[in-house]
């Protein structure tokens, strides 16, 4: 499969299986795929992954591997 990361104000980035991309700090982004994908997301501790939300049912809790 293939996945696209849409970046606000920049060109989209298309990824194939096994590839990775580092989203620049502070760049608003949205992953898009036609088929279901499984990804590994790495972020610094304390990053809120739903915009600036602090008390949302959509905000994921930190999970340490």
For the stretch 35-47, pLDDT in tens is: 888 888 787 776 6
Compute the Cα dihedral for 56, 45, 49, 3 and give only its sign: negative
pLDDT at res. 26: 82
pLDDT at res. 65: 60
Query: Which pTM was predicted?
Result: 0.64
Helices (H) and strands (E) in the chain, counts: 0, 3
Residue ranges in the chain modelled with pLDDT below 50: none
Nearest to 6 by CA among 31, 27, 24: 31
């Amino acid at each position: 499969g293939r996945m696209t990361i849409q970046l606000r104000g920049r060109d989209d980035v298309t990824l194939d299986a096994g590839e990775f991309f580092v989203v620049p700090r502070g760049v608003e982004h949205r992953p898009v795929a036609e088929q279901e994908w499984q990804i590994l997301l790495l972020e610094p501790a304390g990053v809120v992954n739903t915009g600036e939300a602090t008390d949302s049912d959509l905000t994921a809790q930190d999970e340490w591997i």
